[in-house]
Amino acid sequence: MVSADGQNRTQKLIDDVNRLMIDHKSAVVMYPEGGTSGKRNEGGPYDLDIFHKGAFVVAKNLNIPILPVTQFFNSKSGFEIDVLEPIQADAITYNGINQIIMNTRDMMQQTLNSKV
């Protein structure tokens, strides 16, 4: 977990993720909202909050793809997961990162909205 306080938080996150991937050859799950949906934004449980840049900066710096995933509880069939199109690290530019973040969030929100 990355502290909300202090300097060099993004570099610490990049270093931690890199170390995890090297030491454990593992995938890393990040929640770009910085919290859970609905609680802070006074919305429903599937209303996504604004995404932070951390996950996107980490992906760019470590040249790893982002695999957007939504999760939804269907009262008839149970827990559902949707895996969306990956975002390749080379598609992320520092000048265009805000647009990629907004597009990713919108794509994920549309997927969730289609289930509600």
In tens, the pLDDT along 76-107 reads 999 999 999 999 999 999 899 999 999 999 99
- For residue 1, being part of any structural domain is answered with no
- For residue 89, being part of any structural domain is answered with yes
Q: How many domains in the chain?
A: 1
pTM over 0.95: no
In tens, the pLDDT along 44-56 reads 888 888 898 989 9
- For residue 3, being part of any structural domain is answered with no
Give the single-character DSSP code of 36: -
Give the single-character DSSP code of 43: -
- For residue 78, being part of any structural domain is answered with yes
- For residue 100, being part of any structural domain is answered with yes
- pLDDT(42) > 90: no
- For residue 102, being part of any structural domain is answered with yes
pLDDT at site 9 = 82
Helix, strand, coil tally for the chain in percent (to 5): 40, 10, 50
Dig out the tokens for 1 from the structure: 């977990």
- For residue 2, being part of any structural domain is answered with no
